[in-house]
Structure formats: structure tokens, C-alpha cells
Amino acid sequence: MNVVWLAYRLSVLSAVSIISGCYAPGRGLQSPLAALENSLVFAPLPYPEGDWAPDGLEIEDVYFESADGTQLHAWYLRHSQPRAVVLYAHGNAGNLSHRAPIIRELHERQDVSVMIFDYRGYGRSEGVPDESGILQDARAARNWLAQRERLNFDDIVIMGRSLGGGVAVDLAANDGARGLVLISTFTSLPDVGARTVPVLPVRSIMRYRLDSESKIANYRGPLLQCHGDADRVVPYELGRELFDAANEPKRFISIPGGTHNDAMTAEFHAALDQFFAQLR
């Protein structure tokens, strides 16, 4: 999520956007400002890019609709005796096929059933991503999973990484969750831009918010959060600020020297194991 370039380029184009427009497929007439922001916040890769047949994973392809009728795709990996049922919201780039190692670890190491879905415009999902759309998509994915597992919405554990953390907080804050796990995520998108490029009016330029800090107080379940202290994409301090705004019970794992896209450490996996073990 290249918010540094986003903030810089949005500030340069902001004056131009007032007097001109451009066309984006699925969106109609847009200002250059809006089109640029969309292209930098979201970096989807459509099918067939990626590995769609990972070895050793008995994946079920799932198709369902978002509230506005957009056709979406997900992978569902069922565990015969799950400790929990997990919905995973991935980051802003690529598609779900690039997260096969993540769902493998969750399924085999943590003994959970897991569903990972693609937002609109990613992988096999139709449409074009925007903030309201991806939040609709997450809710539709959670609804499908609850029906499949015969669970209430708040019996599902929500996990989100980076951009997906903003999606996960929205779900948990509005509808509840059995547990919330956040990895390398932020207080809000404008906070990321403003912290990285403080000389530019990022807060007034950006349309997309994903304001997790204002939402997370509405979530009253267990929280596990982790962040690398060398993250140059989403500053570590923003992860801490989001954690500080959350209710107890909560636990924060700092990853010394960890960057934005590093694999999860043994310490985090141990904490995640304990997190699942303590869920009621």
C-alpha cells in the first residue's frame, strides 16, 4: 500500500481534478485525483495471475454475491475438528491465491477452518474495488461462512492484514466477532499518509478512510494484534495507536526488525495458538 506516493501524487493532481475528469471502467467519469487514489489504494491482480492449484490443500472454490449483486470468489478450507472458524481479509495487492501459505498455516498449525475471499476486482471476483464495495464484500463473505458453518456472525474469528485490517475492524465493530486478529494495520488510511508525508494536506485530499480507530471501541471481544517495528508502509506507531483505542482483553506482539510483508514469527504463532485456545 504505497501511501507515500499516493499522498505526493494526489497533492500534485488536486488542482487539476477540479476542472477536468477521466473515465474509469465501472465508475464512469472520475477526476484524475479519484482515479489515482483508487489505483494506489487497490492493486488487484485478476485471474489467472497467481497459483490457483496449491499443492496439498483441499480447497473448495466458493462463489457468492455481494449486496449489490457483484459476483465474488473465495477459498474455503474446512477442518474436521476446528478450534475456530476464521474469515481472513487480505491486503491491497495481488489476490487470494498469493495467500495460500497463510491459510495452510492456519489450517494445519492452528487447526481452524478458514475462508479467504477476494474483494471485487481481485482474482475471480467481478467488479471494481472501492471502500464501500470491499466492506460489502467482506460482509457477504462472512454471511456465507456463517451459513455454511451454521454459526452466528459473532461466532466467527475475523483476521485482517494491512488493508484487510481495516475491513476486519469494520466487521467486528459493527456485527461482533468471536475474536479479532490484526496484522500490520493502521488507525486510518489518511493517518498513514499524513504520518509519512506531513507537509502535504493528505487528510483533506483522500476520499478513502477505513477509519478503524473510530470504530474499534465498538468491538468488545478479544483482540490479538502484531506489527513489525521496522514497517515502512504502515508505521508501527499507528498500529500501537489503534491497539490503545481498543477495549480489553487485548494483546500486542511487537516484531523486532519486522517489515510490512514479513512472514509471521514463531512468537506470533505461539500467541495465536494461545489466543485460539482461550476463546470461549
The tally of domains found in the chain comes to 1
Contact indicator for 57, 101 with CB cutoff of 8 Å: no
Please state, in angstroms and as integers, the Cα–Cα distance from residue 22 to each residue in 16, 34, 156, following that order: 11, 9, 41
Nearest-angstrom CA–CA distance, 231 and 196:
12
| Predicted TM-score (pTM) above 0.85 | yes
Residue 250: helix, strand or coil by DSSP? strand
Contact indicator for 182, 240 with CB cutoff of 8 Å: no
Residues 48-98: tens digit of each pLDDT: 999 999 999 999 999 999 999 999 999 999 999 999 999 999 999 999 999
| Grid coordinates given for 108 | 494445519
Within a domain: 15: no
Within a domain: 25: no
Within a domain: 261: yes
Range of the domain at 114: 43-278
Residues 188-239: tens digit of each pLDDT: 999 987 887 777 777 888 889 999 999 999 999 999 999 999 999 999 999 9
Q: Provide the CATH number for the domain around residue 51.
A: 3.40.50.1820
Within a domain: 26: no
Within a domain: 23: no
